[in-house]
Amino acid sequence: MNEHKPEILAPAGDKSSFLAAIAAGADAVYAGLKHFSARMEAYNFATSELAALAELGRENGVRTHIPMNTLIKPDDINSAARLVERISRTVKPDALIIQDLAMVEIARQAGFEGELHLSTLANVSHPAALKTAEELGVDRVVVPRELNLDEIRMMAEACPDSMTLEMFVHGALCYSVSGRCYWSSFFGGKSSLRGRCVQPCRRLYGGAKRKDQPKRLFSCLDLSLDVLTKPTLAIPKVSSWKIEGRKKGPHYVYYTVAAYKMLRDNPNDAKVKKDAVELLELALGRPSSHSVFLPQRPFTPLDPSNETGSGFLIGITKQEKNGKPYFNCRQELLAGDFLRIGYQDQPGHQTMKIRKFIPKRGKVSIPVKGKMRLKSGTRVFLIDRREEGLTKALKKLDSKLSKITVAENVASDMIIDLPQPCPLPERTARHTLQRNPPKGKTKFGTDVWLSMNALKRTPRPAVSKIWWHLPPVVWPDEEKEVQKIIDICLSGGGRDFVLNAPWQKAFFPKDAKVRFHAGPFCNVSNPVTIEMLADMGFSSAYVSPELARDDFLALPQNSPLPLGFVLSGMWPLGLSRIMAEETELMSPIYSQKKEICWARKYGQTYWIYPGWPLDFGAERKVLENSGYTMFLNIEEPWPRAVPEPHRTSNFNWDLSLL
């Protein structure tokens, strides 16, 4: 009998999915509110609705976790605090899932007494980082989906006694590392860090040659660890198996929860494992893989030649003589089933509800919406269904739910105490971040990506003058090498270090005489986060470059640290640990809208760059007047094969970052 049983953590994007999670026997459910959720495309919940569901959950032994895992903008602080105060009284969640450091302080001031779980968006990606997270009062860390089993074991071995780990076992995979994706934001102001990703990575991309047919080079298969979850039962620190899918329906939630509960409770029963895998095949997800989970058999979860839409292929469209589209269903359809017609980037894409039973090979007419014509050969997927047994279970729970009364949702007038601004230095500084030290005399304010090669090229007297930037992602098996490089830099006189995750502070001795600067990949976006960084010993902070004008200009008014701004240069669309074989590095990759991007690799991480740089040069005076004192240009060697840029971007400066 296995004693360690990680919780089965189920997604719920609406009431039916929450009820399905309870019906299937989930231990916990994570469900977002209308605001501050990293899945804003889901239906999400009003506080009163979620309060009743959470109470029903408690009656059935099911915990409720609320994701508030978005980037917090300056004007979000008080509304986030008031929301936390309200849900603490009404919903009484067991945990908040957070990304932004500000939420730690906001939760404290709002009187929240549950656990704080760091989202995978917080990018706690290596073992030493866990100690820093614990010092902030974090109870659980969600580990990146890019980690294999050995790396999860490494994280568990380093996990402090007061903390636990949560890992994804099933659901959609993102191409980019969570918390290190700016693709959707760069292409139009819909930030993944704000829960509004429009998934440009799932679109078609092609190479420069005409013979190169556009493919889904960056569109991932789903994750399904299924029987491979068994080894994690021997890792007590892994306290939660998380199922992704807050945009999925109750059918998916019910079947995935039921399957993983079977795999957890009967790890040595071959028949139960077989039945569980069959249930997962019925869950109507995308084509799946084990991804990189097996270190001895890593698999790149990309299949550019195939479509990766979710759901079960139920038919292919044809056209009547009058041009109206239809299809013949490959399996029977039930009243209440939901279909998806085509892919999101195809003309005529839509969802459709089946109103009555349709037998196998029955004809289904598709309503024409708008002026976009649906092409023959478009694939039709079954994405959700309402079997009789599941429908009855949901109705029974819904009846119990209707009898629950919740506390009145009294408005909150809470206001967060904001820090006082720091005195501004007399002069502003211009920094240029390079891969290697510049030739000639090294001045204070020279910035270099920290690497062994860069250290070897740097004269010892210059080491103390350089601002050394740590990488945005450190993987578990890179940790020792990074630690070695930092130790060499410290022994050589290194004093200024730009950390691109707050957790990287763990690489330095507590008595080290150094200055820490929060890099732009820390995604700093509000004064409460800046105050948290100041308390951690940081001397300055670069603000996230994806904010909009009003957000940028508001930050210095309450910043306890000097602030920096990425003024120009190359900012990545995203960072990834995987790359399709068909993708040629250092060569142009074209979207269907003829947008260019290109990729190169540093260490284990692929950097995907747009074909044009940032340039806020015209705004520098405005930024200086508002209080910014450091300006960074990020240099990146330009590939010969990629066309020289004929445009620049000011990111979301002129937009309203949603």
**CATH number of residue 365's parent domain:** 2.40.30
Confidence of residue 160 (pLDDT cuts 50, 70, 90): very high
Identify the CA nearest to 476 among candidates 194, 141, 182, 85: 141
The last residue of one of the domains, among 261, 294, 327, is: 294
Q: What is the mean pLDDT of residues 95-114?
A: 96
What the block records as the tokens of 117 is: 């779980």
What the block records as the tokens of 622 is: 């405005």
Tell me: do 478 and 586 sit in the same domain.
Answer: yes
Locus of tokens 């701004």: 565
Q: What is the mean pLDDT of residues 528-548?
A: 97
Say what the pLDDT of residue 171 is: 94
Total domain count for the chain?
3
Q: What is the mean pLDDT of residues 546-569?
A: 96
Q: Count of H helices and E strands in the chain?
A: 16, 31
Q: What is the mean pLDDT of residues 605-616?
A: 97
Say what the pLDDT of residue 68 is: 95
CATH of the domain at 232: 3.20.20.70
Confidence of residue 441 (pLDDT cuts 50, 70, 90): confident
Tell me: do 100 and 219 sit in the same domain.
Answer: yes
Phi, psi of 186 (to 5 degrees): -65, -30
Residue 191 lies in a domain: no
Tell me: do 284 and 316 sit in the same domain.
Answer: no
How many CA atoms does the CB half-sphere of 511 hold within 13 Å? 0
Evaluate whether 219 touches 308 at the Cβ level (below 8 Å).
yes
Evaluate whether 98 touches 116 at the Cβ level (below 8 Å).
yes
Identify the CA nearest to 168 among candidates 220, 65, 246, 240: 240
CA distance 288 to 311: 11
Count of other CB atoms within 10 angstroms of residue 409? 15
- Phi-psi group of 199: left, alpha or beta (phi > 0 → left; psi -120 to 50 → alpha; rest → beta): left
Flag whether pLDDT at 41 surpasses 60: no
Q: Is 361 exposed, middle or buried (0-12, 13-18, 19+ CB in 10 A)?
A: exposed
CA distance 657 to 551: 9
CA distance 467 to 634: 13
Confidence of residue 307 (pLDDT cuts 50, 70, 90): low
Locus of tokens 């299949």: 303
Evaluate whether 580 touches 302 at the Cβ level (below 8 Å).
yes
* DSSP state letters, 580-617: -TTPPTTS-EEETT--EEEEEEETTEEEEEESS-EE-G
The last residue of one of the domains, among 385, 403, 421, is: 385
* 439 to 447, 464, 494, 569, 570: CA distances (angstroms): 13, 16, 18, 20, 21
CATH of the domain at 605: 3.20.20
Flag whether pLDDT at 347 surpasses 80: no
Helices (H), 380-499: 388-402, 452-456, 460-463, 479-491
Tell me: do 353 and 436 sit in the same domain.
Answer: no
Contacts of 457 (CB under 8 A, 6+ apart): 436, 437
Phi, psi of 510 (to 5 degrees): -60, -25
- Phi-psi group of 96: left, alpha or beta (phi > 0 → left; psi -120 to 50 → alpha; rest → beta): beta
Edge-to-edge strands, sheet with 312-316: 312-316, 379-384, 338-341, 350-353
Residues 517-536 have pLDDT tens digits of 999 999 999 999 999 999 99
Locus of tokens 């990293």: 38
How many CA atoms does the CB half-sphere of 532 hold within 13 Å? 22
Edge-to-edge strands, sheet with 574-576: 205-206, 589-591, 596-602, 605-610, 574-576
Residue 640 lies in a domain: no
Evaluate whether 153 touches 144 at the Cβ level (below 8 Å).
no
* pTM, two decimal places: 0.92
CA distance 73 to 467: 27
Q: Is 264 exposed, middle or buried (0-12, 13-18, 19+ CB in 10 A)?
A: buried
Poorest-pLDDT segment among 150-159, 208-217, 637-646: 208-217
Tell me: do 60 and 112 sit in the same domain.
Answer: yes
- Residue 93: give the domain boundaries: 7-177+206-294
Tell me: do 126 and 265 sit in the same domain.
Answer: yes
Flag whether pLDDT at 206 surpasses 60: yes
CA distance 499 to 524: 12
Tell me: do 319 and 280 sit in the same domain.
Answer: no
CA distance 93 to 323: 52
Say what the pLDDT of residue 238 is: 98
Residue 546 lies in a domain: yes
Percentage of the chain surpassing pLDDT 90? Answer: 77
Tell me: do 603 and 558 sit in the same domain.
Answer: yes
Residue 654 lies in a domain: no
Say what the pLDDT of residue 310 is: 67
Residue 613 lies in a domain: yes
Flag whether pLDDT at 227 surpasses 60: yes
Q: Is 562 exposed, middle or buried (0-12, 13-18, 19+ CB in 10 A)?
A: buried
Residue 401 lies in a domain: no
Evaluate whether 28 touches 240 at the Cβ level (below 8 Å).
yes
Say what the pLDDT of residue 495 is: 96
Q: At what angle do helices 250-265 and 15-24 cross, to 10 degrees?
A: 20
How many CA atoms does the CB half-sphere of 109 hold within 13 Å? 20
The last residue of one of the domains, among 268, 294, 320, is: 294
Residue 499 lies in a domain: yes
CA distance 298 to 90: 45
Confidence of residue 389 (pLDDT cuts 50, 70, 90): confident
Residue 656 lies in a domain: no
Residues 562-579 have pLDDT tens digits of 999 999 999 999 999 999
> Is the alpha carbon torsion for 88, 91, 92, 96 positive or negative?
negative
Instruction: Look up residue 447 and give its amino acid.
Output: D
- Phi-psi group of 591: left, alpha or beta (phi > 0 → left; psi -120 to 50 → alpha; rest → beta): beta
Per mean pLDDT, which of 319-333, 427-441, 566-580 is the most reliable? 566-580
Tell me: do 327 and 272 sit in the same domain.
Answer: no
Say what the pLDDT of residue 114 is: 96
Helix then strand then coil, % of the chain, to nearest 5: 30, 25, 50
* DSSP state letters, 349-402: -EEEE--S-B-TT-EEE----SSPPPPTT-EEEEEE---HHHHHHHHHHHHHHH
Tell me: do 326 and 250 sit in the same domain.
Answer: no
Say what the pLDDT of residue 1 is: 41
* DSSP state letters, 498-545: EESSGGGGGGS-TT---EEEE-GGG-B-SHHHHHHHHHTTEEEEEBPT
- Considering only residues 231 and 351, tell me which one the structure prediction assigns the higher pLDDT: 231
Identify the CA nearest to 165 among candidates 195, 145, 136: 145
CA distance 105 to 94: 17
Tell me: do 439 and 511 sit in the same domain.
Answer: yes
Confidence of residue 345 (pLDDT cuts 50, 70, 90): low
Flag whether pLDDT at 43 surpasses 70: no
Identify the CA nearest to 42 among candidates 65, 15, 63, 24: 15
Q: At what angle do helices 388-402 and 250-265 cross, to 10 degrees?
A: 100
Residues 468-496 have pLDDT tens digits of 999 999 999 999 999 999 999 999 999 99
Flag whether pLDDT at 225 surpasses 90: yes
Tell me: do 360 and 500 sit in the same domain.
Answer: no
